[in-house]
Amino acid sequence: MKKKLIVVAALIIVIGGVLLYLNHMNYWPFQDEKAAGIPDGEIKSVDTTSKKDELSLLLAANGEIAYNIKAKSMSVYFDVYDRDKRVRHDIVTEGMSEENTQMSENLIWGIPGFDVFNATEIRVIISQDGASAHASYAIPKGVFVDGENSGAETHAFEDGKIEKGKEYVLEAWSISKKGGMESSSVFSKDSLKDKDRTVILYVVFK
């Protein structure tokens, strides 16, 4: 009898732990309309390696993020810096509401072409619960100047708790005639000053 009680107690603990995990990660049966596998208030870079197909070969760069957050706005921006001076600040797409609204979405973006430094357009798809919205942004001519030392970085952020007002980098381009130092933050003043031009595609929640 005592052994049975121990077994039952152990099963209750295990089942309870599993249910708590499923609830925390927003998996079924607790998912509702939220992005599965993402805890409330967090952002995550989605591994698209397994999704690659013939269409991905037509993209110079692409990525996908997922997030669950209550916010008034989600905005995707395209910024251009000459050294540490911002010379362009464009909205690629945004969603806004007067009050905090549950945003549980997958944001998929892609840059058509074969050379990320000859990019002319950015395409964005925001999907939620089977519905999706599309947006495109034409990159102005002359944004990508010549430079011997150029580099591009995708999803330059760590998965985890979303900090409202923080820039989450989707793609960043650095262009310089000489080698520049590495920096942990694309937006740091030292990093920007060290490059002739920095171009940044990023998302902000408020």
Give the whole-angstrom CA distance, residue 61 versus residue 115: 8
Q: Where are the alpha helices (DSSP H) in the chain?
A: 2-24, 189-193
Q: From CA 109, how far away is CA 191, in angstroms rounded? A: 25
Q: Where are the domains of the chain?
A: 1-31, 42-205
pTM as predicted: 0.83
Alpha-carbon gap, residue 79 to 73, rounded angstroms:
18
pLDDT digits (tens), the chain, 206 positions? 666 666 555 566 656 555 454 555 565 555 566 566 688 889 999 887 656 555 566 899 999 999 999 999 999 999 999 999 999 999 999 999 999 999 998 999 999 999 999 999 999 999 987 788 999 999 999 999 877 678 899 898 989 999 999 999 999 999 987 765 455 688 999 889 989 999 999 999 99
| Tokens read off for 12 | 């209750």
pLDDT of residue 201: 98
Q: How far is CA 79 from CA 93, 143, 165, 170, 197, in A?
A: 13, 10, 15, 12, 11
Contact call for residues 86 and 80 (beta carbons, < 8 A): yes
